[in-house]
């Protein structure tokens, strides 16, 4: 796939949207199928790692040689930031994506990489088909919100947001108006209060 994409775009890659999702059935940990539980991690984390290993070197050389945008948008989830019973593999794997995105930014920002982890929103999709119906029926967001926000993030370099978590349903104008607060407080990154 990498070779086809690179050939199609003349060796230059500006933006990678790294999206993979698998959610195990809503069952408590000890009642879950270990293989299905682990499959969630394989798709949600290992899948993104594989894509980054394939595309990141080309992105970095595209930045160096063509002043490309060099943006990687990793799709996480609001589930990374909350705890509920019955979906621990999904939530913890998406939490790993958020931290990994921060780490990629730190490791490669000197070469121009700009990373974001995004929550696409609470959307009814195939991935939520196994979610209990009362929860699924309360998912308020539309897929176009995710698309609009990802296009907004990919359209230009916003270094001040690099390595941070962005939730697609947020008002992006309000987010921009809070730039100083976000940067000075080092917000929208994983932290543990004590």
By annotation, the residues acting in catalysis are 90, 94
Gyration radius of the chain's alpha carbons = 17
Q: Which tens digit of pLDDT belongs to each residue from 13-31?
A: 999 999 999 988 888 999 9
> pTM of this prediction?
0.92
Q: For 149-165, how does the pLDDT look when each residue is reduced to its tens digit (9 = 90+)? A: 999 999 999 999 999 99
- Whether residue 190 is predicted with pLDDT greater than 90 in this model: the reply is yes
Taken in order of first residue, the domains within the chain and their CATH numbers are 1-185 (3.40.50.720)
pLDDT (0 to 100) of residue 139: 63
Residue 140 pLDDT grade (very low, low, confident, very high; cuts 50, 70, 90)? low
3-state helix, strand, coil in the chain (%, to 5): 55, 10, 35
Residue 181 burial by CB count (10 A; 0-12/13-18/19+): exposed, middle or buried? exposed
Q: How far is CA 163 from the centre of its chain?
A: 10
pLDDT at position 124 is 66
Q: In which band, very low, low, confident or very high, does the pLDDT at 141 lie, cut at 50, 70 and 90?
A: low
User: Per-residue pLDDT tens for 108-139?
Assistant: 999 999 999 998 876 667 776 677 777 766 76
């Amino acid at each position: 796939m990498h070779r086809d994409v690179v050939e199609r775009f003349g060796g230059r890659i500006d933006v990678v949207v790294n999206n993979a999702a698998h959610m195990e059935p809503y069952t408590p940990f000890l009642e879950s199928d270990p293989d299905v539980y682990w499959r969630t991690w394989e798709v949600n984390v290992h899948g993104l790692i594989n894509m980054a290993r394939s595309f990141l070197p080309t992105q970095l050389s595209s930045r160096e040689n063509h002043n490309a945008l060099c943006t990687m948008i990793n799709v996480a989830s609001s589930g990374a930031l909350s705890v509920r019973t019955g979906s621990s593999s999904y939530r913890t794997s998406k939490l790993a994506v958020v931290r990994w995105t921060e780490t990629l930014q730190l490791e490669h920002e000197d070469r121009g990489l700009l990373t974001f982890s995004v929550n696409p929103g609470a959307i009814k999709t195939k991935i939520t088909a196994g979610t209990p119906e009362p929860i699924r029926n309360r998912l308020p967001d539309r897929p176009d919100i995710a698309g609009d926000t990802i296009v907004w993030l990919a359209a230009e370099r916003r270094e001040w947001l690099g390595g941070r978590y962005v939730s697609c349903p947020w008002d992006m104008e309000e987010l921009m108006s809070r730039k100083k607060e976000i940067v000075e407080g080092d917000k929208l990154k994983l932290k543990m209060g004590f």
